[in-house]
Amino acid sequence: MTNKELQTLGITDIMDGTSTGDNWFAQGERVTSTSPVDGRAIAQVVSTTKKDYETVLKTAEQAKKKWAEIPAPKRGEIVRQFGEQLRELKPILGKLVSYEMGKSYQEGMGEVQEMIDICDFAVGQSRQLYGATIHSERPLHRMYEQYHPIGIVAIISAFNFPVAVWSWNAALALVCGDVIIWKASEKTPCCAIACQKILAKVLQKNQLPEGISSLITGDATVGRWLAEDVRIPLVSATGSTRMGRQVATTVANRLGRSLLELGGNNAIIVTPDADLKMTIIGAVFGAVGTAGQRCTSTRRLIVHEDVYEQVKIALSQAYKQIKIGDPLNSKNHMGPLIDHQAVRTYQEALANIKDQGGSFLVSGSVLKGHGYESGCYVEPVIAEVENHWEIVQRETFAPILYLIKYSGDITQAIALQNAVPQGLSSAIMTTNLREAEVFLSQNGSDCGIANVNIGTSGAEIGGAFGGEKETGGGRESGSDSWKAYMRRQTNTINYSTSLPLAQGITFDF
């Protein structure tokens, strides 16, 4: 990525990592953002200190009242303008996402498109923040519900989707009348700074106050400040289950709200009636896309014994065609893992698979030599395992696909799929209508997302995104997810000349 392209997004050699609108400052230590693509430093980012943090909170509190008083459709207009800026900068911002995170350029562009899509969705939603009218049991009374802005929303995002997941929260929170504070991943700070600068220019152009959108950077300590802060009614956190537990416990201790989107251990069930061509495409993209670093990545393939050998052969052939290398080269299917720690996790997982008795249909290792100098490139792996093994029960953020055989009917396959602690995304490949409906029934998949004849990755903006069990139970993006960013209020108006009480109670004196 060229310096000119970085400068277009406001990325320079050394950058402050704290912002309240268009005001940038930071006094903490410098953290270097290094690309896993080639191992080169992109920029140094100055981390947020506690003093910086207090400045951000003070500015956000000053902005929240004025922002909430602006009519929702007018707030939607600001989000629309932000979406237009993203359209103009999509090729360059998508390239930065690819270069700093390591996903393919197509996926980087797709992530920016998600931002544009959620802006479009939020603009429409700004005219549909509906309440409800409720019939009162008392004569000449009207009862209804309405929604008000919740205030300050903290957004903690993960490295694997360095801009899209923030935008899911930000676009909706903004049209709901909230101000936002973003704690981006310390592994992808440049993406966050670029997005904050784009939005800050829109806010400044419209003469809106600082603090409507703020950015803080740093490690888990900075995230802990948000979780502990009683001034922040809602903390939306995306990341590991371990992190989510810490956020949920801390926020609940002060009776705040948390919106959690955590780990996944996603499976595709392949029945005897599956279209195997579609199955292989869905499974390979799900397992290899983003080098297996999506929360919706396909981790497990639960295959009926009647088609098990066919699936193995087809997968082996497909994996031979996967090209690994610079994600900015459109000919490559898979880029690097995010950093050397992720590589060590990959290696440890392979050792655990072997120790627990697994066999490798497609083995893998860390790639070395020309083009792989960063040390973050690995080969995708397919392992034959048992579903109950410890290594299979936990999420490994790497391109490792587990093959699991089942022999009974669809209920056995569903039981295997559900027998993990996580509950994010799931899929079934079948042309059998009965199997599909059983999979989608109340006794079917226990995940927040359940797909038929598509893979586990690639959720659309229109539907609510999130999962159950250790995935955290939160919902972001589409449908009625906007309600998480508002406080609900029930109102009753008495337009009679008396004061009747509910439940027929009398109180005379």
Catalytic machinery residues? 261
DSSP string, 175-227: HTT-EEEEE--TTSHHHHHHHHHHHHHHHHHTTPPTTSEEEE--SHHHHHHHH
List the structure tokens of 481: 């997810």
206 Cβ contact list (under 8 Å, min separation 6): 78, 81
- Cα–Cα dist 500/509, whole Å: 14
List the structure tokens of 6: 């970085």
H or E segment to which residue 439 belongs = helix 433-440
How far, CA to CA in Å, does 231 sit from each of 21, 54, 57, 166, 487? 19, 11, 8, 20, 15
Q: Which amino acid is at 317?
A: Q
CB crowding 79-104: b at 16 or more within 10 Å, else e = bbbbbebbeebbebbbbbbbbbbbbb
- Cα–Cα dist 32/190, whole Å: 10
**Coil vs helix vs strand at 464:** strand
- On the CB side of 140, how many CA atoms lie within 13 Å of its CA? 7
CA-angle at 301, arms to 158 and 329, nearest 5° = 55
Query: Is 470 buried (19+), middle (13-18) or exposed (0-12) by CB count in 10 A?
Result: buried
- Cα–Cα dist 238/226, whole Å: 14
Residue indicated by tokens 């350029």 = 105
